[in-house]
Structure 1
Amino acid sequence: MSAKMGANRTEESDMAKFLLLMNYGPSATCDTPMDRWAPEDIAAHITYQQDLGAELAGNGELVDAQGLSGPELAKRVTATGTGAPVVTDGPFPESKELLAGYWLVDTTPERALEIAAKASAAPGPNGVPLGQPIEVRELMSAPAAPDL
């Protein structure tokens, strides 16, 4: 674990909020898009994700978790500074990584990594763990407002 992870936390608590990010795309064991999986494999994957969410909620660690629509439904908005923003419909072939979903957890840095490993092990086709990379990012805290 990086020495910088958790640098914004106070000394009295190791707890912090972490965003665990899962991207669309091939994983360590699967390069087949989910829409081409067998229905029972999709059901097993979703059940696994629901069970993980229930476990985290039961532990008091879950703040939020959501799956996102596919990249074909994404929109990219860019302010032009000179009128209406530019809205581009997805998918975006130039993008190497597109977010598939996330978990927002309130826990210790070590536990955030454990949760990420569990999320990475979600089953894919034929029940084989996907090995999907999960990016773990600590939420930054805003600096305290100055006393006036």
Structure 2
Amino acid sequence: MPKFLLLKHYRGGPEPLPDCTPMSEWTPEEISAHIAFQHETGRMLRENGEFVDAQGLSPDGSYVRFGGPDAPPVTDGPFPEAKELIAGWFLVDVDSEARAHEIAAYVSSAPGQGGRPIYEWIEVRQIMGAPAQDV
């Protein structure tokens, strides 16, 4: 079965989110409801045998690249930072891309501020298989 990475976007996507209030401005109860939804989604995926992994990401991060024999450069830009774009992910093992889209649409309905669905963009990317090995 193919595996798909469902990337949870804060603000990214083909168009802006209707109400993109940062989680830092949510009440503790709203955050708890959102996290409970994520846990319940993971439970349902496990029950269906489709769950591989899920992680939320902290807002802290930096860019690092190889810079030769000296220390690697570490920077906050000039590019949009992943911490501003990617909130977390689900990795699923499903029968089809259509099923991955179905799960992504459900994940997009997670509750946010005021209990309203956040309608976040979920980027669906198929995991590449290993290259064929010469036998």
TM-score after normalising by structure 1: 0.80
Residue identity matched to 1:99: I
Cα displacement (A) at 1:129: 0.7
Distance in 2, matches of 1:25 and 1:40, equals: 22
Cα displacement (A) at 1:145: 1.1
The runs of 5 or more residues in structure 2 that have no matched partner are none
The runs of 5 or more residues in structure 1 that have no matched partner are 1-14
> Which residue number corresponds to residue 128 of structure 1?
116
Residue identity matched to 2:3: K
Residue identity matched to 2:70: G
Choose 75-84 or 119-128, whichever is displaced more.
75-84
> Which residue number corresponds to residue 117 of structure 1?
105
- Over 3 Å off, 4+ runs: none
Distance in 1, matches of 2:98 and 2:10, equals: 25
Cα displacement (A) at 1:23: 1.8
> Which residue number corresponds to residue 22 of structure 1?
8
The structure, 1 or 2, with the larger RCO (C-alpha pairs under 8 Å, 6+ apart) is 2
> Which residue number corresponds to residue 95 of structure 1?
80
Cα displacement (A) at 1:93: 6.5
Distance in 2, matches of 1:86 and 1:101, equals: 25
Answer whether contact 2:8 2:122 (CA < 8 A) is retained: yes
Cα displacement (A) at 1:96: 6.6
TM-score after normalising by structure 2: 0.87
Question: Per-residue displacement from partner, 1:31-58 (whole Å, max 9, x unpaired)?
Answer: 2110111221111111111100110011
Cα displacement (A) at 1:75: 1.7
CA RMSD of aligned residues (A): 1.8
Answer whether contact 1:30 1:124 (CA < 8 A) is retained: no
Distance in 1, matches of 2:81 and 2:61, equals: 14
Written as runs of structure 1 = structure 2, the 5 A alignment for 1:33-112 is 33-70=22-59, 73-88=60-75, 90=76, 92=77, 94-95=79-80, 98-107=85-94, 108-112=96-100
Distance in 2, matches of 1:112 and 1:30, equals: 25
Q: Which has the larger radius of gyration?
A: 1
Of residues 124, 127, 133, the one that matches 1:139 is: 127
Q: Percent identity?
A: 49
